[in-house]
Structures are given as structure tokens and as C-alpha cells.
Amino acid sequence: MSDILVHTEAGVMTLTFNRVARKNSITGAMYEALSEALDQASEDAAVRAVLIQGDPTIFSAGNDIADFMAAASAPADTPMKESPAIRFLRTIAAFPKPVIAAVCGPAVGIGTTLLFHCDLVYAGDNAAFSMPFVNLGLVPEAASSLLAPRMFGYHRAAEALMLGEPFMAEAALEVGLANRIVPPLECNGIAQGQARKLAAKPLSALIETKRLLKMAQQPAVLARIDAESESFGHAMRSPAAKEAFSAFMEKRKPDFSKV
């Protein structure tokens, strides 16, 4: 069975992370599947909204660490911006139709940053958001270094991106990352209901409204994704990142004292 389930009904394409045994950590193949689904949804007039969801216990643990380690071993001249993850981020950032997310349990790394590019976010009361890039010797991605300060305010964004500690659903609601907090077992259904409400509205008006809402920041967002990807590629090959990845795989605390 696929790690990304794609189902379209009542004008809503639902994309479900389906790798719960691995905490819905996202592989390169999963990013490709997500990008292809979004490209299809963009062109298909029958798709009027997209819903991204996980399991009631876990949204996503972020990028698969084994994939990170493989990418870190790639030739130094391999452009990070051509990676499946960056393709997905550019695709969702530029996606013209409404995107809704249902988030329960941990949403780590890209599990949180992809939400900056969603139009509506419904969070289970067990949701825990985190952007622990620095803890892995990495830097922000998905234009989060631009969008988090705008949404959270600088100091809260710095806390989230520099300390990398989780913040819960109530904090996400307070800073505007989530629209509503709901019971986890109801979250996907509530988000589906909201997606169907959007799908019943005039699509041309929705697309133009979204374009106008994002018009002032869209060029800067895409430029920041590219800038972050360059920094991310360098950071991923750094001694700090290699120590963090090794420590994760060996289930020990990383030692950054010599890097």
C-alpha cells in the first residue's frame, strides 16, 4: 500500500500520510507523490480543494532521517533545490486552490512548515508542532525563516526556530498557525467538512481570493525557499549535521562540542 493515499470525492482531493509505523516520516518518494498529486489537482477542474491529513496519533515526524543521511553523502555539487522535498515545497507554496490540513499528534520539521502554505489548519488537542532544524545542525526551510516571524512575531519565531522545542495546539491557535482545536478523533472529519464547504463555492472566486491574499508575499516566499535550500544543502553536509544524524540513528544524545 502506498505511503501517500490519494482519494478524491465531492470536489476534495484528500492526501493522507500512510506510514504510521515510521511516524509518517516523509521519504523522497513520498514528496514526489505529493507533488504529483498537487500538480494533478491544480489541472483537474473536478478538484476544488485539497486536504492533507495524517493519523489521529501522528501527523508527521518530518523528513526521513535515512533520506537525510543519503542526501548528505551525495556529491557536494548536487543542487538541493532540485530535491523532491524542495519541489514539493515550491509546489504547495504556489498551489492556486484552497489547501486544508488536519494535524494531530507530532508535526515535526516539514510537518509544521508545510502548514505555512495551507489556507486552513485544524489541530487536534494532542497536536505538538516543532521546527528542530538547528538541533540537527540544519537551517529553516519552506520559507519558515520569513513566514514564522511574520505570523508569530520575531521573538516567538526565534524561540521556535533556535530552540526547536515543541509548542502545543493552544500556542499554534494563539499565533495564528491553527484555525481551531478539535478532538483528535474528529479532526480529519471536521477538516473534510470544511474542505467540502470550500469545494461547493465558486472556484474562480476562491482562486482569485487566494491569489490576492498571497500576492504581496508570494515572490518573496519562493525566493526564500530557494535561498533556504542553498543554506540547507550546505548545512546538511556539515560535521554538526552528520553528528546529529548519526546520534539519531544510534539513539544517543549528539555531541556538538567539537563541531
Nine-digit cell string for 210: 487566494
Sorted by where each begins, the domain ranges of the chain are 4-184+202-208
pTM score over 0.85: yes
pLDDT digits (tens, 9 = 90+) for 147-191: 999 999 999 999 999 999 999 999 999 999 999 999 999 999 999
**SS3 assignment, position 73:** coil
CATH code reported for the domain at 4-184+202-208: 3.90.226.10
Cell of 11: 470536489
pLDDT tens profile 9-68: 999 999 999 999 999 999 999 999 999 999 999 999 999 999 999 999 999 999 998 887
CA-based end-to-end distance of the chain: 41
- By the 8 A CB rule, do 6 and 13 touch? yes
